[in-house]
Amino acid sequence: MSSRVRTRLLCLALAALASTEGMAASGIFGFVDEDGVEHLSNIPDDKRYRLMLADRFEPARTALRAPRGVLALPFGQRPFHDSVLRASSDTGVDAALLHAVITVESGYNQGAVSPKGATGLMQLLPGTAKRYGTVNLLDPGENIRAGARYLRDLLAMFDNNLELALAAYNAGENAVIRHGRRLPPYAETRRYVPLVVAHYQRLGGH
């Protein structure tokens, strides 16, 4: 990886770390006032606000500030490391990067299922899993193997540009292509990419 790419990744990581410091609350909050008007905000500056939709990235952001439990461990001591190493050896994708994606996607919860149906450690959609021959997305080994193969193909598709590969992992490769092979203007993707990069850097990725 060139020094220019390393510098850009480091800037992304620092930006993600900085954003965690300034975020007092995360998610969508709401309340209905005495006139029946519904108020929604990501800044709960009124005691009537109640959390309505949690930000799924909050645990990963918290882990950058003050890691606890499994997210405080070096990646070599984290759960499923043997499966990660096998997938890394099979695909050439850095084991630290796979751990960073797992950290942000599921926090090592092998039974995680999103409202959109993304499943398991690397939060793969059924269609993506089928593309890579995965039968049981709740099996950690199968899930990590399929996710690693998908990441390998995305890195190849986007000329080893880590930002674009991660954006495609989050939003789909077609979204990146439609937007001129740039980061799509989606709020979640714009949060996701630097967050994964920050964890990758923290785990010693380069």
Cα 37 from Cα 145, distance rounded (Å): 49
Q: How many helices (H) and strands (E) does the chain have?
A: 9, 3
What's the pLDDT band for 46 if we cut at 50, 70, 90? confident
| Predicted confidence (pLDDT) at residue 15 exceeds the cutoff of 60 | no
Lowest mean pLDDT among 117-126, 157-166, 184-193: 184-193
| Predicted confidence (pLDDT) at residue 196 exceeds the cutoff of 50 | yes
- 3-26+57-202 folds as Lysozyme (1.10.530)
Average pLDDT over residues 122-144: 93
Give residue 22's pLDDT: 39
Cα 164 from Cα 138, distance rounded (Å): 27
Q: How far is CA 78 from CA 47, 58, 118, in A?
A: 39, 20, 22
Quickly count: other Cβ atoms within 10 Å of residue 8's Cβ: 15
What's the pLDDT band for 43 if we cut at 50, 70, 90? low
148-159 pLDDT, tens digit each: 999 999 999 999
Q: Which residues are catalytic?
A: 105
Mean pLDDT of the chain: 83
For the chain, the structural domain boundaries read 3-26+57-202
70-109 pLDDT, tens digit each: 999 999 999 999 999 999 999 999 999 999 999 999 999 9
